[in-house]
Amino acid sequence: MDSIRLFLKENYKSYFFDNASVNMLILGDFFRSDVGCRTTFKDWASTAVDGDYCSGNTTGLEIEGDDILMTDLYPEVPAELRMKKEQFIKLFDEWLEKVCKKNPKEVMIIHDNDEFRIEVKD
């Protein structure tokens, strides 16, 4: 099991993260920095086909078969995170529902047995 904890700094109205594995840092930074509460990347993933690529400010996304390969655009240590497209879309829906609508004080993104999920605490 791997995870990353994001915590809300209310004076900044933004999420920051603790230490985590490099792979989970890519995912945490993607949601914190590139996504916010926009659906652009979810919309892209829903229609993208093998070989399609897009990027945000910090993260590159590429479709490889049924997977999405996430990479850090400015890595200190090269790393990548791979997940199924349907898992990416499910995780994105959780982010919009649990984080964007409720603004919890703490967000845990957990990766366990090829499944990703979001848990929140107020």
Q: What pLDDT, in 10s, does the model give residues 48-65?
A: 999 999 999 999 999 999
Task: Say what the pLDDT of residue 104 is.
Answer: 94
Cα→Cα distances 27→11, 56, Å = 23, 12
Task: Say what the pLDDT of residue 14 is.
Answer: 85
Mean pLDDT, range 23-43, rounded to an integer: 92
Task: Say what the pLDDT of residue 53 is.
Answer: 97
CA dihedral for 122, 27, 85, 59, sign (positive or negative): positive
Tell if the pTM clears 0.85, that is, is over it: yes
CA 53, 20, 9: angle at the middle one, nearest 5? Answer: 90
CA distance 1 to 3: 7
Percent pLDDT > 70 in the chain is 99
**Displacement of CA 95 from its chain's centroid (Å):** 8
Task: Say what the pLDDT of residue 20 is.
Answer: 86
